[in-house]
Structure 1
């Protein structure tokens, strides 16, 4: 019987996020295709809780900072003991710690394949450690979730041949078009029969919620019968509500915050 391929996914994500959800989606796909999966994450994190609910074996590791040598040593030992051949780092801090872990394993003659996923479109730091993080020969492949993300990395000095663009997937059965849920509309305060433009993302200045709020104000000023819905962690916070109030559109915008449905 052929031994299953083994991979360790690593992330320091504390809260439940799109990146953590994509990690689990990939893990499910690999598991369904016969891979042996482990997930290294912070204890008690949203990722740890959701991974456990879905039946994945997790490995608790602090991942406190980029140069967390203790976490790197624990990851290296975990990988060596289980014969793991692939490490996949999904976020910035885990990227750095996994590099250190592979360096440790390399000295022991057991270096696995290291894959790093880059999901954000801003440039990496230009200090020597950041340059090493992204240009190190210890990285076998960098996965960029968009062509623009790849270009940012290339502009920062990363070899384009080492970067593969793989866009984030969507479960087309779960998110298939369906008739409006009138009960949900009522719960969210969205009127029936009106178009709704929504943005689903945890609140962050670089994720563009304020851009959509400004666009909403322009559409409303033109008399368009449309409402706007923001869903994601902290979208119900004061700063976004203040932006809507500044543009006098608070009656046409719903800030729903984090939802698990």
Structure 2
């Protein structure tokens, strides 16, 4: 099955492959948001475990799928300082999300903390924007990795890009729930809660196509771009995902979920990529 997927992705090219892969991750977000049609609330222990799982997948993807290929490719361009592109790209990626975090109005899933510039936008809009911040680097990562594979970057492959899309898609299931369930809990209808939940990942296909196009025509940019996506994801993990799992009494379950997510993504990347 993987061989057929790889052959198909290589045949249609990195941009279309990134579009299809990120549409897949968007649809899994919608599937997660669809849980709201069956339940009004989700147990906090389950929620924290799933959120920890999300962080683990993102962390593993940042290293195995992005930073490692960045370092490998950087060694070809900068044999004396192979770490340089990875270090620069990583920091720039974190600063990019830091800037969005300060500028873009958004609300965390607990409805107790609003960040970004002051606005009178509705809570639903602010919550969608919070999860959208998660999904921008995820879409970029998939697109950039497809582009890197098409350029023959050491450590990057189409199979690894597909594995990354599968891993991010799996962790998007709880992300969809993390929008739709809180909205349902505070009184939104099931249909509106679902709509806002799936909408949070609509940015992924856009980011994926942008990432694939950006790196498809120049190899010198690739190690920086790979590390940029990794830095963006790490910022989201440390600034938002992990703190959210530590607000209740289920911190141990969140850590176990984190380890499970990391392990799954590592297996997907190493085993399939």
Q: Identify which of structures 1 and 2 has the higher relative contact order when contacts are C-alpha pairs closer than 8 Å and 6+ apart.
A: 2
- Structure richer in helix, relative to its length: 2
User: TM-score w.r.t. structure 2 length?
Assistant: 0.24
User: TM-score w.r.t. structure 1 length?
Assistant: 0.25
